[in-house]
Structure 1
Amino acid sequence: MPAPLHLPPRYAERPLTLADAGAVARLMAADELATTGEVHIEEADIVAEWQRPSFDVGAATVGVLGPSGDLVAYAECSGGARADAAVRPDHWGQGIGTALAGWVSARAAELGEPVIGMPVPQDSPGDRLLDSLGWFVRWESWVLALPEETAIPARELPAAYAVRAATTQDHEQVWTVIEDAFLEWSERERETYADWVATNVERPGAEPWNIRVVTDPEGAVVAAAVLVMTENGREGFVSRLATRRDQRNRGLAQALLADAFDAARAHGAARATLSTDSRTGALDLYRRVGMEVESTWVHRATRP
């Protein structure tokens, strides 16, 4: 286990459990609001990640308790090159973020990770802190939104191709298409099918229609999107969008994106969003279909 955190007097640390997901979401929401003016995180996001079979919540997390005993900060690092951390704004400036960054680095070293990083809003307090600690920028990412009442331009599918909601029988093909595409540019191990199901199919609030597919004339899944609806139903976020390599440059991704956003609006969403990063080269594609950048993030990393 990493060494104990160096915390201010009257603060304490402990491993977290799945029952802490709501408290973690609330402190992350306070952090997001203070740094970006918006809140995107939901408890379902935390639960979906922590309920993965590969995720050992107790070993992969640390929580910081304030003087009154409430959770005021946390970090997680479960393997792979990505970690997360947040400090409630009313507890900034006391060295807690520095302590958590050290814990993440030590935890990654224990796991044998050559590099570990986390996303932070560009030029935010978290970004500046990690910069001061020597964490470098690996890539940029952007959250994009489709203006209300704007529609993605329609793209006609090739003959005998179809776009529809996925069935349970499609799920393994969806996982394969998405993982194959994302592993072309991301540096991580292949996500297991069981973890994918836990994060996407079994995510709290997920509905069968949230997973969208394009099928070829033989009925095989050749493109897929995963749509996440916010708890209040007012926003549809495309968390994954992928096309099989041999099926690209046929307009499948644009047709699928339009279908996903139309499905979100049909179920009450006023906003349609997604994120992408500089490794994918997809930013211009999303801009061309009318999406606008809302915020810019950087992935800050260190070598343990």
Structure 2
Amino acid sequence: MTQNHAPDAPQVSFPNLQWRPVSASDLDSWAALIARTAAVERPVWFERRADLAQIVESKNNPVGQNSVLGFDADGVPRAYARLTKNQDGAKAHGFCAVDPQWQRRGVGSALLQWLEARTRQRFAEDAGAVKDGGAGNKQPVPPRLRIFIEQKQQHQVALLEESGYEVVRYYNEMHRPLSAPLPEAPLAHGLELVPMEPGLSEAVRLAHNQVFADHWGSEPRDEEAWGFVVNDPLARPDLSAVALESSTGDVVGYQLASHDPETAVTRGFTEGYTDLLGVRKEFRGRGIAQALLADAVRRFAAAGMDKASLDVDSDNPTGAMALYRKMGYVPVNTSLAWDKVL
């Protein structure tokens, strides 16, 4: 077997596939591999070529050191794995896919082993994240790998269980039919809604980092990570909005939306998706989140969509689940966060 890795990347050991890091020249065949897998597993969302094009441009997580692509004898990609990690982060995120024709042959286990080995390396390269052990003592955080999958993907669930991973969080996908009466939720006096524009991006990023500082598993987004959100190929600033304090112009809340036109084919309906919704802590309790969500629903309906959708941490500390139910959203799908401390 040929192994053609960057010098500092771990090796994958699996017969009949040749492995090397992903490169920009692989975009078409890499996207085709993911699409073949998605056609069978039918996830709610999967990465397409435009998403992968963003990924190969990452400077924080260069694919040359943080990915592996396995080719069969005919040069067709049959499996891949990719790792991301913030430099000071306490966890790494793993992504992988195996061509349906190559599943149940041990390829998935080999990819997990590669992801775990690369996670250990990334923590060593970053000198390890640290936590406060009390009395000002800083202690290194052990390498941790996190993988998200949908609950319905039972063969992946079995593989993660067998490999020593544990479920650490549940996330609910929620839908609201836009044929139902649309909510009214005006902003309080002294606040205003404005369109999401490029000039507001940095202020919204800083507000987002503040909003999510008390959310489980959240880490601050730097400029590159934020760019993956606002420059996402599916991002729809025309369906997004920012709440400002009128007297200061400060960002107090935001709702960033996207729309995937292919969902009409794969899921049978069109949807406006709320990627991020947040209100700064000192402004909570004033109906801002409700007003932002009501505005989003109305924008989606005006754009001719069938449903509004979003995902929420089932243990969200702000009580978001109750708000979404009040606004007419209902859970339709569950995703799981699996962790393994290495």
Q: Same fold (TM over 0.5)?
A: yes
Work out the percentage of aligned pairs sharing the same amino acid. 26
Partner of 1:108: 119
Pairwise mapping of residues 95-174 of structure 1 onto structure 2 (< 5 A)? 95-112=106-123, 114-122=143-151, 124-151=154-181, 153-174=183-204
Counterpart contact for 1:118–1:300, Cα < 8 Å: yes
Tell me, yes or no, if structure 1 residue 290 matches structure 2 residue 325. Answer: no
Pairwise mapping of residues 214-253 of structure 1 onto structure 2 (< 5 A)? 214-218=243-247, 219-232=249-262, 234-253=270-289
SS at match of 2:79: strand
Pairwise mapping of residues 53-92 of structure 1 onto structure 2 (< 5 A)? 53-80=59-86, 81=91, 82-92=93-103
Shift in CA distance, 270/125, structure 1 to aligned 2, threshold 3 Å: same
> Could you give the per-residue CA deviations for residues 36-81 of structure 1, whole angstroms, max 9, x where no partner exists?
x454224234344443442312111111223432222211112142
Q: Which amino acid aligns with 1:228?
A: S
Per-residue deviation at 1:263?
A: 2.1
SS at match of 1:58: helix
> What 5-or-longer segments of structure 2 have no aligned partner?
1-7, 124-141, 264-269
The one of the two structures with greater contact order (alpha-carbon pairs below 8 A, sep at least 6) is 1
Pairwise mapping of residues 198-217 of structure 1 onto structure 2 (< 5 A)? 198-217=227-246
Counterpart contact for 1:13–1:63, Cα < 8 Å: yes
2:301 pairs with 258, 265, 271, which one? 265
Q: Which amino acid aligns with 1:294?
A: V
Per-residue deviation at 1:203?
A: 2.3
> Could you give the per-residue CA deviations for residues 194-243 of structure 1, whole angstroms, max 9, x where no partner exists?
431x2123223545424421112222211011111114483321111111
Shift in CA distance, 206/298, structure 1 to aligned 2, threshold 3 Å: closer
Q: Which amino acid aligns with 1:89?
A: P
SS at match of 1:97: helix
Deviation >3 Å, runs of 4+: 18-35, 44-53, 186-189, 205-208, 231-234
CA distance, structure 1, for counterparts of residue 68 and residue 115 of structure 2: 9
Partner of 2:45: 40
TM-score normalised per structure 1: 0.89
Tell me, yes or no, if structure 1 residue 7 matches structure 2 residue 43. Answer: no
Counterpart contact for 1:152–1:290, Cα < 8 Å: no
> Could you give the per-residue CA deviations for residues 65-110 of structure 1, whole angstroms, max 9, x where no partner exists?
2343222221111214222112122221011110111111111100
Moved more, 175-184 or 15-24: 15-24
Shift in CA distance, 213/49, structure 1 to aligned 2, threshold 3 Å: farther
Root mean square deviation of aligned Cα: 2.3
SS at match of 1:54: coil
> Could you give the per-residue CA deviations for residues 124-163 of structure 1, whole angstroms, max 9, x where no partner exists?
2111110111111111112111124135522121013222
Q: Which amino acid aligns with 1:276?
A: V
Partner of 1:190: 220
TM-score normalised per structure 2: 0.80
Counterpart contact for 1:179–1:190, Cα < 8 Å: yes
SS at match of 2:296: helix
CA distance, structure 1, for counterparts of residue 331 and residue 106 of structure 2: 32
> What 5-or-longer segments of structure 1 have no aligned partner?
none
Q: Which amino acid aligns with 1:295?
A: N
Shift in CA distance, 47/180, structure 1 to aligned 2, threshold 3 Å: farther
Q: Which amino acid aligns with 1:296?
A: T
SS at match of 1:183: helix
Counterpart contact for 2:96–2:111, Cα < 8 Å: yes
Counterpart contact for 1:8–1:95, Cα < 8 Å: no
CA distance, structure 1, for counterparts of residue 122 and residue 181 of structure 2: 45
CA distance, structure 2, for counterparts of residue 158 and residue 4 of structure 1: 57
